[in-house]
Amino acid sequence: MISLPILPTTVIGSYPRPKWFREIIKGYKNGRYGEELLKEASDDAVVSVISDQEEVGIDIPSDGEMRRDEMVEYFAERIEGFRFYGPVRVWGNNFFRKPAVVSKITYIRPIVVDEYLFLRRHSSRPVVKVTITGPYTIADWSFNEYYNSKEELAFELAKVIGTEIKKLEEVGSLFVQVDEPALTTHPKEMDWAVQAINKAVEGVNIKVGLHVCYSNYSLLKPYFDELRVTQFALEFANRGFRDLEVVKGLSKELGFGVIDVHSRVVEEPEYVAKALFKIMEYLSPEYIYVNPDCGLKLLPRSIAKAKLRAMVEGVMIVRRELAKKGLTEIPLRNKV
């Protein structure tokens, strides 16, 4: 059995792309550089950001989602049944090419298995995290021009995502996180959206996290038991650690968001420690993981790294206290 230090530290997934890598992507898109250089640069970028995370002491790193421009687009490009229209504005000055479902949704080939294998080879940590965009969010952010309902589309996507998670399990992945930022945005759809997520993780035996951010968690709470996941990775720093009582009685793990990714101010370790002592009033430390609120991709790289360092240092303060009570490790819990 694999054990982890108590209060394992991790990331939600994305990390800022190194500046040089952004230049190469630009050059690739305008035809200056070819596939081979892009591939080499992508690999080097992943190695660099794994190193950033491990250097500051992150226990469970990701590959920073270096190869993904956008979380829905990346999956839609790799699943049969989609076509793309022009870019639409999602928030601020961020655009994405909105996919449309125009024919039967079909799994054609592994989507992120190679990403996982590369990360596995280049991380020194026993456990790494792979993120997958969930079926509901893909359905919600796409035009549906083929299925009778968004619900039907979400369940078709759940089969594809489920196939991918099982492939990851087969090649040795220990921790997959399903990202569903859209989950609570249409409360009337939540009953079936939750079932679609359960469908995607059916028959999966490894650890599964579910990330939902900037949401009304009182809408999510009624589904905590029903959702067949090991962990909920939630954002709390941006809301000033309000709503902590929502996790009271949670019988699963919490990925506790303690770093505000929308702020360039680097948190103090003491601030992180204080938040952890607070959450421990509601939940046993043996069920708490520690992560930023959300992906770090929009921050300057130096700030993202400094924030992770502060997060780990804050965790160390709390670990010293827990060690006095003999709490130093937890088992890696899998989905049941």
The bridge status of strand 175-179 relative to strand 207-212 is: parallel
Which of 290, 330 has the CB closer to Zn ion?
290
Which of 213, 247 has the CB closer to Zn ion?
213
**CA-CA distance, 171 to 201, in Å (whole number)?**
16
Which of 112, 261 has the CB closer to Zn ion?
261
Q: How far is the CB of 295 from Zn ion (least distance, A)?
A: 6
Question: What are 179's strand-pairing partners?
Answer: 133, 211
Q: How far is the CB of 323 from Zn ion (least distance, A)?
A: 31
Question: What are 155's strand-pairing partners?
Answer: none
- Residue 289: name the closest of 148, 205, 175, 189 by CA: 175
CB 165 within 8 A of CB 201: yes
Which of 107, 136 has the CB closer to Zn ion?
136
**DSSP-assigned states of every residue in 128-149:** --EEEE-HHHHHHTSEESSSSS
Q: How far is the CB of 74 from Zn ion (least distance, A)?
A: 15
Q: How far is the CB of 181 from Zn ion (least distance, A)?
A: 5
Residues 183-222 that bind Zn ion (CB under 5 A): 213
**CA-CA distance, 40 to 48, in Å (whole number)?**
12
Q: How far is the CB of 27 from Zn ion (least distance, A)?
A: 30
- Residue 123: name the closest of 252, 272, 11 by CA: 11
Residue 286 DSSP label? G
**Alpha-carbon separation of residue 285 from 109, 280, 289 (angstroms):** 39, 6, 8
Which of 213, 288 has the CB closer to Zn ion?
213
Which of 45, 294 has the CB closer to Zn ion?
294
Q: At what angle do helices 19-29 and 35-55 cross, to 10 degrees?
A: 160
Residues 22-61 that bind Zn ion (CB under 5 A): none
**CA-CA distance, 108 to 122, in Å (whole number)?**
27
Q: How far is the CB of 213 from Zn ion (least distance, A)?
A: 3
Residues 126-145 that bind Zn ion (CB under 5 A): none
Residues 217-256 that bind Zn ion (CB under 5 A): none
Which of 218, 328 has the CB closer to Zn ion?
218
Residues 267-296, one symbol each (x = binds Zn ion by CB under 5 A, - = not), give: ---------------------------x--
Total of residues contacting Zn ion (CB under 5 A): 2
Residue 215: Cβ-neighbour burial (10 angstroms; 0-12, 13-18, 19+)? middle
Which of 41, 182 has the CB closer to Zn ion?
182
CB 9 within 8 A of CB 55: no
* Three-class DSSP category at 81: strand
Q: How far is the CB of 63 from Zn ion (least distance, A)?
A: 17
Residue 54 DSSP label? H
Q: How far is the CB of 30 from Zn ion (least distance, A)?
A: 30
Residues 105-124 that bind Zn ion (CB under 5 A): none
**CA-CA distance, 235 to 275, in Å (whole number)?**
12
Which of 173, 238 has the CB closer to Zn ion?
238
Q: How far is the CB of 179 from Zn ion (least distance, A)?
A: 7
Please report, as ranges, the residues that interact with Zn ion according to CB under 5 A: 213, 294
